[in-house]
Amino acid sequence: MRSCMLAALLVLGAAIIGMAADVLVPGFTVDAYATGIPDPSNLAIDIDTGTLFYGEFGEGLYRVDPGGMAVPVNLSFALDVGDWYPFAATELEYADGYIYSLLPAGTLARVDTTTGAAVPVYSYSGIHCESGIALRDDTLYMVPGHGWADSLLSYNLLTGVGETAVSGLPHSAFGIEYDAANDRLFFSDSSTGLYEVDLDSGSIALIGSFTAHALYRQFAIDPTGAFAYSMNNFGVVERMDLATGMTEFFITGLSDTDLRDLAFGPASDGTGWSLYLLQPHSILEVSGFQGPQTETKADNLLTDLVAKVSRALGVTLDQAQAIVQAHGAARVRLALAFSASYTEFIAALEGYALSSTTAGSGGGIEGAVVASECVIGDALVCLFQITHPFTGQFVEDATCSLSLVFEGSESPIIVSIVLAPFDETVGGYAASIETAGLEAGAYTLYIACGDLQPHQYTVNMVNP
Same domain, 265 and 313: no
Task: Note whether residue 295 is domain-resident.
Answer: no
Rounded (10°) CA dihedral 88, 45, 174, 288: -120
Task: Note whether residue 208 is domain-resident.
Answer: yes
- CB contact set of 314 (below 8 Å; sequence gap of 6+): 413, 414
pLDDT of residue 301: 55
Same domain, 104 and 250: yes
pLDDT of residue 227: 96
Same domain, 343 and 246: no
Indicate the residue among 258, 289, 320 that finishes a domain: 289
pLDDT of residue 357: 27
Rounded (10°) CA dihedral 420, 424, 428, 431: -30
Same domain, 154 and 42: yes
Per-residue pLDDT tens over the stretch 60-82: 889 998 778 899 998 876 544 44
Same domain, 183 and 97: yes
Task: Note whether residue 134 is domain-resident.
Answer: yes
Give the largest Cα separation in the chain, rounded: 78
CA separation for the pair 442, 461 (Å, rounded): 6
Cβ atoms of 392 and 407 closer than 8 Å: no
Per-residue pLDDT tens over the stretch 18-58: 346 788 899 999 999 999 998 888 899 998 888 999 988 76
- CB contact set of 221 (below 8 Å; sequence gap of 6+): 177, 178, 179, 186, 227, 228, 229, 242, 264
Same domain, 333 and 248: no
Q: What is the DSSP string of 352-417?
A: TT--STTT-TT-EEEEEEE-SEEEBTB-EEEEEEEE-TTT--B--S-EEEEEEEE-SSSS-EEEEE
| Mean of all residue pLDDT scores within the chain | 77
CA angle 63, 67, 70 (to 5 degrees): 30
Same domain, 20 and 87: yes
pLDDT of residue 214: 59
Indicate the residue among 254, 289, 324 that finishes a domain: 289
Query: How much is the pTM?
Result: 0.62
Same domain, 308 and 402: yes
Same domain, 106 and 255: yes
Same domain, 222 and 76: yes
Question: What CATH code is carried by the domain that includes residue 309?
Answer: 2.60.40.10
pLDDT of residue 54: 92
Task: Note whether residue 65 is domain-resident.
Answer: yes
pLDDT of residue 293: 41
Residue numbers of the chain with a pLDDT score lower than 50 = 1-19, 79-84, 89, 293-300, 350-363, 390, 450-453
Same domain, 272 and 171: yes
pLDDT of residue 256: 65
Residue type, 406: F
Task: Note whether residue 78 is domain-resident.
Answer: yes
Domain of residue 346, residue span: 301-462
Task: Note whether residue 296 is domain-resident.
Answer: no
Same domain, 260 and 401: no
Tally of domains in the chain: 2
Indicate the residue among 289, 318, 346 that finishes a domain: 289
